Amino acid sequence: MGTPHAFEPEKLFCGLLYTDADAYRCAKERLISDLGPVDLESEEMSFSAFSDYYSYEMTGEVKRRFLSFEKLVPPDTIAEIKERTNAIEAEMSEGGCRTVNLDPGLIGHGRLLLPTTKPAGHRIALRDGIYIEMTLFYSRGGWHTFPWTYRDFASERVMAVMSKIRASYIKERRAMMKKGKL
């Protein structure tokens, strides 16, 4: 019989989709206020190159950035974090349309997890209408996709950002192990 242990903390990040730079800055400030200091901010990249899913709602060319946060978090807090980011999206909406889309996620030693409110066969129910999926897995020195992996997450550019976030996580994890906190 296995013995349950506390979950090892993981690296929290958030993907931001937006068309307006002011909306991005406002969302970034809100995220920092709610989730703590940022230790990585990616360059701006085009999301419209992968999908036009948000173009109508956000009216214009949709851009993407990623933020990662200094503090590692227990993975069982991701549903609450998703609810908080959904609340920020709702508060920043104008005329029933979102000005930002916020996608929090977690990077652990060998995986990247994304919570969502959309059920599907490969997603696992967490609580209160929040599901989670493994979007990428890390093995043999690199990220690998699944059939359901979003096209932007499957791109080399996004995987490079996720590798930087993972490297930060590994460094923080090692420091915690040295201090006996893991």
* Structural domains of the chain sorted by starting position, each given as residue range(s) with its CATH number in brackets: 10-176 (3.30.70.260)
- Residue 146 — pLDDT band, cuts 50, 70, 90? very high
Q: Is 169 exposed, middle or buried (0-12, 13-18, 19+ CB in 10 A)?
A: buried
Instruction: Please indicate whether residue 112 or residue 5 has the higher confidence score (pLDDT).
Output: 112
What per-residue confidence (pLDDT) applies to 136?
98
What per-residue confidence (pLDDT) applies to 56?
84
What per-residue confidence (pLDDT) applies to 59?
86
What per-residue confidence (pLDDT) applies to 5?
87
* pLDDT 10s digits, 86-136: 999 999 999 999 999 999 999 998 999 999 999 999 999 999 999 999 999
**What is the rounded average pLDDT of the residues 30-58?**
94
| Percent of the chain's residues with pLDDT above 90 | 88
Looking at residue 30, its amino acid is: R
CA angle 127, 101, 103 (to 5 degrees): 50
> How confident is the prediction for the chain on average, in pLDDT?
96
- Which token pair is 112? 């990247």
What per-residue confidence (pLDDT) applies to 182?
81
* pLDDT 10s digits, 43-52: 999 998 899 8
Break the chain down into helix, strand, coil percent, rounded to 5. 35, 35, 35
What per-residue confidence (pLDDT) applies to 168?
97
What per-residue confidence (pLDDT) applies to 167?
97
Residue 180 has pLDDT above 90, yes or no: no
What per-residue confidence (pLDDT) applies to 181?
84
Q: What is the DSSP letter of 96?
A: T
- Which token pair is 48? 């419209």
Q: Can you say how many angstroms the Cα of residue 95 is from the centroid of all Cα atoms in its chain?
A: 26
